[in-house]
């Protein structure tokens, strides 16, 4: 599928969007390279993302409350949801 025919799901996480855009690749690389001592445990990370996908403020992989990419925010153990959902 070429990029001009690609439609984004406004309720998806960036990892679920099939795009050739290098920005999303860079975001995933950033997450993969977070040092283990500050990284969220995989099970907790998935719980956080599940909460975000159920939130009405999620749009295009971004939090409508703070503007962050939720996958990056959720990947760091010390981070939290601005609405205290996690």
Can you tell me the distance from the alpha carbon of 64 to that of 72, in angstroms, rounded to the nearest whole number?
14
| 14, pLDDT greater than 80 | no
What is the pTM for the complete model shown?
0.72
Can you tell me the distance from the alpha carbon of 14 to that of 69, in angstroms, rounded to the nearest whole number?
8
Per-domain residue ranges of the chain = 36-86
Can you tell me the distance from the alpha carbon of 44 to that of 23, in angstroms, rounded to the nearest whole number?
25
pLDDT one-digit tens code per residue, 29-84: 899 999 999 999 999 999 999 999 999 999 989 999 899 999 999 999 999 999 99
Can you tell me the distance from the alpha carbon of 22 to that of 26, in angstroms, rounded to the nearest whole number?
6
Mean pLDDT on 7-13: 61
- The total number of residues shown for the chain amounts to 86
Q: Would you place residue 1 in the very low, low, confident or very high pLDDT band (cuts 50, 70, 90)? A: very low
| 18, pLDDT greater than 90 | no
């Amino acid at each position: 599928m070429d990029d001009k025919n690609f439609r984004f799901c406004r309720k998806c996480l960036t990892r679920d969007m099939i795009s050739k855009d290098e920005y999303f690749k860079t975001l995933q690389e950033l997450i993969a390279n977070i040092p283990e001592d500050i990284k969220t445990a995989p099970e907790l990370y998935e719980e956080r993302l599940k909460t975000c996908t159920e939130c009405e403020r999620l749009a295009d992989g971004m939090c409508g409350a703070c503007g962050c990419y939720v996958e990056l925010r959720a990947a760091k153990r010390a981070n939290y949801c601005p609405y205290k959902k996690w």
